Amino acid sequence: MLVKNDFDRLADAVKVQFYQRLIGGLVDESKRTMPFILGMVANIIKGWRSQKESFEGIDADMISKLDSLISEISHKSNELQSAVERLSSLTSDEFAKDPETWKGLLKSEFEALTTDTISLLDTAKSTLENLERKKNQAETLQKRLAGFEHLEKYKTAKAGLGPQAQQTVNAVEIKIRDYLSRGLLFNKKVTDKIKTGPWAGYLHAWLPRPYDDYRIVFSWNSKLKRVIFETIDRHKELGID
């Protein structure tokens, strides 16, 4: 399982155990940290693959961002390994013969690469933290939300909408359940009562733009704390003013 401390440990390994040792003349010790660094990167990749599914439905953009960040971290670690392999003839004893020259050369070769890698790790850590926070918020909300049921007519109408519209409907459904679980009836945009037409007595919610001519029609069983989603359509088709 991937945890935010994995990024901290890897950042410490890259900055302190590898880079600072390297420019400080501990070349042999620095080189020996590379298998450890590559192993940590492999564990991060493995941990994210096993954990990624648990974030499904939380924030697709943030999941995609973390995918890209971890891929970039892997790429940077391979760049680091290649750069170290080019130093195969350099040892701590060789560095000690001309420390200032070697320090300057190694900084020019590794400083930007190290800084970029640590920046990626910091961003990946904060992205994972944000994902975990959103997941916890979603789980807390789900425990509090009113129960619900989709009638077949509703399912059919929802399935006839495009993917983006369906995502919007999902978000409005959660808002409806949230409002009702808190007793917020007759909010004009979310839990408004239909006063005339064939759906008189039911509640309805508006979809936001660009779908604002659509309404979700639903009923509310206050005793059972349960929402029944009845149908979705344009308000004129539903006979709603």
What pLDDT shows up at residue 233?
96
Helix (H) or strand (E) holding 186: none
SS3 label, residue 1: coil
Entry pTM: 0.68
Tell me, yes or no, whether 57 and 132 share the same domain.
Answer: yes
Average pLDDT, the chain: 93
Tell me, yes or no, whether 174 and 81 share the same domain.
Answer: no
Residue 8 sits at the vertex; the CA angle it makes with 38 and 54, to the nearest 5 degrees, is 85
What pLDDT shows up at residue 2?
77
Query: What is the share, in percent, of the chain residues with pLDDT greater than 90?
Result: 83
- The stretch 126-152 carries a mean pLDDT of 89
Q: Are the C-beta atoms of 53 and 144 separated by less than 8 Å?
A: no
β-bridge pairing 147-150 and 203-206: unpaired
Tell me, yes or no, whether 122 and 169 share the same domain.
Answer: no
pLDDT tens profile 50-73 = 999 999 878 889 999 999 999 999
Order of strands across the sheet that contains 203-206: 147-150, 226-234, 214-221, 203-206, 192-193
What pLDDT shows up at residue 145?
83
pLDDT tens profile 141-190 = 777 788 899 999 999 999 999 999 999 999 999 999 989 988 888 888 99
231: β partners = 217
Token pair of 61 as six digits:
């953009």
Neighbours of 32 (CB within 10 A): 13
Q: What is the CATH number of the domain that holds 81?
A: 1.20.120
The DSSP output letter for 221 is E
What pLDDT shows up at residue 141?
76
DSSP per-residue codes, 89-131: T--HHHHHHSHHHHHHHHHHHHHHHHHHHHHHHHHHHHHHHHH
Tell me, yes or no, whether 47 and 131 share the same domain.
Answer: yes
pLDDT tens profile 13-36 = 999 999 999 999 999 999 999 999
Query: What is the share, in percent, of the chain residues with pLDDT greater than 70?
Result: 100
Q: Are the C-beta atoms of 203 and 191 separated by less than 8 Å?
A: yes
Of 95, 111, 144, the residue that ends a domain is 144
Domain span including residue 12: 4-144
Backbone angles phi, psi at 134, to 5 degrees: -65, -40
